[in-house]
Protein backbone atom coordinates (compact mmCIF):
# COMPACT_ATOMS: atom_id res chain seq x y z
CA UNK A 1 0.00 0.00 0.00
CA UNK A 2 0.99 3.64 -0.26
CA UNK A 3 1.11 6.09 2.65
CA UNK A 4 0.82 9.70 1.51
CA UNK A 5 2.35 12.13 4.03
CA UNK A 6 1.45 15.83 4.18
CA UNK A 7 3.47 18.40 6.14
CA UNK A 8 2.48 21.06 8.66
CA UNK A 9 2.44 24.77 7.77
CA UNK A 10 5.92 25.85 6.73
CA UNK A 11 7.07 22.24 6.56
CA UNK A 12 8.11 20.11 3.60
CA UNK A 13 8.48 16.52 2.50
CA UNK A 14 11.78 16.47 4.43
CA UNK A 15 9.71 16.25 7.61
CA UNK A 16 9.12 12.58 6.79
CA UNK A 17 12.43 11.71 5.13
CA UNK A 18 13.39 9.19 7.84
CA UNK A 19 10.07 7.40 7.59
CA UNK A 20 11.09 5.81 4.29
CA UNK A 21 13.61 3.53 6.01
CA UNK A 22 11.45 2.96 9.10
CA UNK A 23 8.38 1.64 7.30
CA UNK A 24 8.13 -2.07 6.41
CA UNK A 25 8.32 -3.14 2.74
CA UNK A 26 4.54 -3.53 2.61
CA UNK A 27 4.08 0.24 3.11
CA UNK A 28 5.50 2.63 0.51
CA UNK A 29 6.08 6.16 1.83
CA UNK A 30 4.91 8.86 -0.60
CA UNK A 31 6.19 12.19 0.72
CA UNK A 32 4.10 14.96 -0.79
CA UNK A 33 6.01 18.15 -1.64
CA UNK A 34 3.67 21.12 -1.62
CA UNK A 35 4.39 24.23 -3.77
CA UNK A 36 6.93 26.77 -2.54
CA UNK A 37 9.41 24.43 -0.85
CA UNK A 38 12.15 21.93 -1.61
CA UNK A 39 12.16 20.79 -5.22
CA UNK A 40 9.12 23.05 -5.82
CA UNK A 41 10.70 26.17 -4.37
CA UNK A 42 9.82 28.32 -7.39
CA UNK A 43 6.14 27.27 -7.40
CA UNK A 44 3.79 29.80 -5.82
CA UNK A 45 2.32 28.46 -2.55
CA UNK A 46 -1.45 28.32 -2.18
CA UNK A 47 -3.24 30.63 0.25
CA UNK A 48 -6.45 28.60 0.37
CA UNK A 49 -7.03 24.95 1.25
CA UNK A 50 -9.64 24.16 -1.42
CA UNK A 51 -7.49 24.90 -4.53
CA UNK A 52 -4.49 23.32 -2.80
CA UNK A 53 -6.40 20.07 -2.29
CA UNK A 54 -7.77 20.14 -5.84
CA UNK A 55 -4.27 20.62 -7.29
CA UNK A 56 -2.93 17.87 -5.02
CA UNK A 57 -5.60 15.44 -6.20
CA UNK A 58 -4.69 16.16 -9.82
CA UNK A 59 -0.96 15.81 -9.16
CA UNK A 60 -1.37 12.48 -7.37
CA UNK A 61 -4.07 11.02 -9.63
CA UNK A 62 -1.74 8.39 -11.11
CA UNK A 63 -0.76 7.08 -7.66
CA UNK A 64 -4.13 5.89 -6.36
CA UNK A 65 -3.99 2.56 -8.20
CA UNK A 66 -2.87 0.75 -5.04
CA UNK A 67 -4.57 0.70 -1.64
CA UNK A 68 -3.51 3.88 0.15
CA UNK A 69 -3.64 5.73 3.45
CA UNK A 70 -3.34 9.44 4.18
CA UNK A 71 -1.35 11.04 7.01
CA UNK A 72 -1.15 14.74 7.74
CA UNK A 73 0.10 16.79 10.67
CA UNK A 74 -1.55 20.10 11.65
CA UNK A 75 -2.31 21.85 8.33
CA UNK A 76 -1.53 18.51 6.68
CA UNK A 77 -4.35 16.89 8.67
CA UNK A 78 -6.89 19.21 7.06
CA UNK A 79 -5.35 18.65 3.62
CA UNK A 80 -5.57 14.88 4.11
CA UNK A 81 -9.16 15.08 5.35
CA UNK A 82 -10.32 17.27 2.48
CA UNK A 83 -8.43 15.12 -0.03
CA UNK A 84 -10.24 12.03 1.29
CA UNK A 85 -13.58 13.80 0.83
CA UNK A 86 -12.68 15.04 -2.66
CA UNK A 87 -11.60 11.55 -3.77
CA UNK A 88 -14.88 10.15 -2.47
CA UNK A 89 -16.93 12.76 -4.34
CA UNK A 90 -15.07 12.70 -7.63
CA UNK A 91 -13.59 9.20 -7.94
CA UNK A 92 -15.47 6.98 -5.52
CA UNK A 93 -12.20 6.23 -3.72
CA UNK A 94 -11.38 6.15 -0.06
CA UNK A 95 -8.18 5.51 1.92
CA UNK A 96 -7.65 2.39 3.98
CA UNK A 97 -7.22 4.75 6.93
CA UNK A 98 -7.00 8.49 7.51
CA UNK A 99 -4.42 9.68 10.05
CA UNK A 100 -4.99 13.19 11.42
CA UNK A 101 -2.26 14.49 13.68
CA UNK A 102 -1.85 17.62 15.80
CA UNK A 103 -5.15 19.17 14.70
CA UNK A 104 -8.58 19.36 16.28
CA UNK A 105 -11.61 18.22 14.32
CA UNK A 106 -12.60 20.84 11.72
CA UNK A 107 -16.26 21.07 12.74
CA UNK A 108 -15.20 22.41 16.16
CA UNK A 109 -15.06 26.21 16.06
CA UNK A 110 -11.66 27.77 16.76
CA UNK A 111 -11.32 30.79 19.04
CA UNK A 112 -7.77 31.84 18.16
CA UNK A 113 -7.40 35.01 16.09
CA UNK A 114 -5.59 34.69 12.72
CA UNK A 115 -1.87 35.48 12.83
CA UNK A 116 -0.83 35.25 9.17
CA UNK A 117 -1.05 39.03 8.59
CA UNK A 118 0.70 40.13 11.79
CA UNK A 119 3.55 42.63 11.42
CA UNK A 120 6.89 40.87 11.10
CA UNK A 121 8.11 41.24 14.73
CA UNK A 122 4.83 39.83 16.09
CA UNK A 123 4.75 37.10 13.45
CA UNK A 124 8.29 36.00 14.31
CA UNK A 125 7.35 35.96 17.99
CA UNK A 126 4.41 33.70 17.13
CA UNK A 127 6.71 31.30 15.27
CA UNK A 128 9.01 31.19 18.27
CA UNK A 129 6.07 30.49 20.57
CA UNK A 130 4.95 27.56 18.41
CA UNK A 131 8.45 26.00 18.66
CA UNK A 132 8.28 24.51 15.18
CA UNK A 133 10.97 26.66 13.58
CA UNK A 134 14.55 25.86 14.62
CA UNK A 135 16.15 28.63 16.66
CA UNK A 136 19.10 28.81 14.27
CA UNK A 137 16.65 29.57 11.45
CA UNK A 138 14.82 32.23 13.47
CA UNK A 139 18.18 33.88 14.18
CA UNK A 140 19.21 33.88 10.50
CA UNK A 141 17.64 37.06 9.02
CA UNK A 142 18.33 36.23 5.36
CA UNK A 143 16.92 32.73 5.67
CA UNK A 144 13.85 33.95 7.51
CA UNK A 145 13.17 36.60 4.87
CA UNK A 146 13.25 33.86 2.24
CA UNK A 147 10.91 31.61 4.23
CA UNK A 148 8.39 34.13 5.53
CA UNK A 149 6.24 34.37 2.36
CA UNK A 150 5.77 30.57 2.35
CA UNK A 151 4.99 30.40 6.07
CA UNK A 152 2.54 33.29 5.83
CA UNK A 153 0.83 31.65 2.83
CA UNK A 154 0.48 28.35 4.70
CA UNK A 155 -0.84 30.12 7.81
CA UNK A 156 -3.35 32.03 5.69
CA UNK A 157 -4.51 28.80 4.04
CA UNK A 158 -5.17 27.00 7.30
CA UNK A 159 -6.42 30.00 9.27
CA UNK A 160 -9.00 30.96 6.63
CA UNK A 161 -10.19 27.37 6.10
CA UNK A 162 -13.91 26.93 6.68
CA UNK A 163 -15.35 23.47 7.26
CA UNK A 164 -18.31 22.51 5.06
CA UNK A 165 -20.53 19.72 6.35
CA UNK A 166 -20.72 16.50 4.33
CA UNK A 167 -21.72 12.93 5.26
CA UNK A 168 -19.07 11.23 7.44
CA UNK A 169 -16.31 9.28 5.74
CA UNK A 170 -16.58 5.49 5.70
CA UNK A 171 -12.87 4.87 6.28
CA UNK A 172 -11.38 4.50 9.78
CA UNK A 173 -9.79 7.61 11.31
CA UNK A 174 -6.86 7.65 13.71
CA UNK A 175 -6.15 10.91 15.54
CA UNK A 176 -2.80 11.67 17.17
CA UNK A 177 -2.07 14.47 19.65
CA UNK A 178 0.72 15.80 21.85
CA UNK A 179 0.24 15.66 25.62
CA UNK A 180 1.97 19.05 26.02
CA UNK A 181 0.39 20.67 22.95
CA UNK A 182 -1.60 23.77 24.03
CA UNK A 183 -3.07 24.21 20.54
CA UNK A 184 -5.80 21.56 20.75
CA UNK A 185 -7.48 19.78 23.63
CA UNK A 186 -8.09 16.06 23.85
CA UNK A 187 -11.80 16.78 23.36
CA UNK A 188 -11.11 18.64 20.10
CA UNK A 189 -9.04 15.70 18.86
CA UNK A 190 -11.66 13.19 19.97
CA UNK A 191 -14.28 15.06 17.91
CA UNK A 192 -12.77 13.54 14.75
CA UNK A 193 -14.79 10.41 15.62
CA UNK A 194 -17.91 12.27 14.41
CA UNK A 195 -16.48 12.39 10.87
CA UNK A 196 -16.41 8.64 10.20
CA UNK A 197 -18.93 5.82 10.26
CA UNK A 198 -16.06 3.34 10.66
CA UNK A 199 -13.74 2.80 13.60
CA UNK A 200 -11.94 5.64 15.38
CA UNK A 201 -8.89 5.73 17.63
CA UNK A 202 -7.15 8.51 19.53
CA UNK A 203 -3.58 8.27 20.76
CA UNK A 204 -1.66 10.89 22.73
CA UNK A 205 2.14 11.14 22.53
CA UNK A 206 4.67 12.88 24.77
CA UNK A 207 5.70 16.30 23.52
CA UNK A 208 4.29 19.57 22.24
CA UNK A 209 2.65 20.40 18.91
CA UNK A 210 5.65 19.00 17.04
CA UNK A 211 5.69 15.60 18.73
CA UNK A 212 6.09 14.01 15.29
CA UNK A 213 9.68 15.27 15.37
CA UNK A 214 10.48 14.49 19.01
CA UNK A 215 8.66 11.12 19.07
CA UNK A 216 9.06 10.12 15.46
CA UNK A 217 9.66 6.41 16.02
CA UNK A 218 6.64 6.09 18.32
CA UNK A 219 4.45 7.79 15.71
CA UNK A 220 5.74 5.57 12.90
CA UNK A 221 5.23 2.43 15.00
CA UNK A 222 1.64 3.44 15.72
CA UNK A 223 0.94 4.07 12.03
CA UNK A 224 2.43 0.74 10.99
CA UNK A 225 0.40 -1.14 13.60
CA UNK A 226 -2.84 0.51 12.48
CA UNK A 227 -2.17 -0.11 8.78
CA UNK A 228 -1.13 -3.73 9.17
CA UNK A 229 -4.25 -4.33 11.28
CA UNK A 230 -6.32 -2.67 8.54
CA UNK A 231 -5.14 -5.03 5.82
CA UNK A 232 -4.92 -8.19 7.94
CA UNK A 233 -8.46 -9.44 7.11
CA UNK A 234 -7.66 -9.28 3.39
CA UNK A 235 -4.51 -11.37 3.66
| For the chain, the helix, strand and coil percentages under 3-state DSSP, each to the nearest 5 | 45, 15, 40
Phi-psi region of 15 (alpha: psi -120 to 50; beta: other; left: phi over 0): alpha
Question: Which helix (H) or strand (E) covers residue 69, if one does?
Answer: strand 68-73
The active-site residue out of 12, 74, 80, 230 is 74
What Cα–Cα distance (Å) separates residue 87 from each residue in 60, 61, 111?
Answer: 11, 10, 30
Helix (H, G, I), strand (E, B) or coil at 202: strand
- Checking DSSP bridges between strand 98-101 and strand 173-178, what pairing results, if any? parallel
Q: Is 230 a catalytic residue?
A: no
Question: Is 31 in contact with 41 (CB distance < 8 Å)?
Answer: no
The most distant pair of C-alpha atoms in the chain lies apart, rounded to whole Å, by 55
Distance between CA atoms of residues 7 and 80, nearest Å: 10
Residues acting as catalytic residues: 74
Amino acid sequence: MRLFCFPYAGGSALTYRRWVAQLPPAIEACLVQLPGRGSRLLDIPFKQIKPLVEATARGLSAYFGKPFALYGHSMGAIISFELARLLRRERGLQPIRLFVSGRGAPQVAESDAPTYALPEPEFLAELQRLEGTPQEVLEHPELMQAMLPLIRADFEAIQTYVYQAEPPLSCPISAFGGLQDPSFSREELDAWRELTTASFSLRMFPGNHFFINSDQQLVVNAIVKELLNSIAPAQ
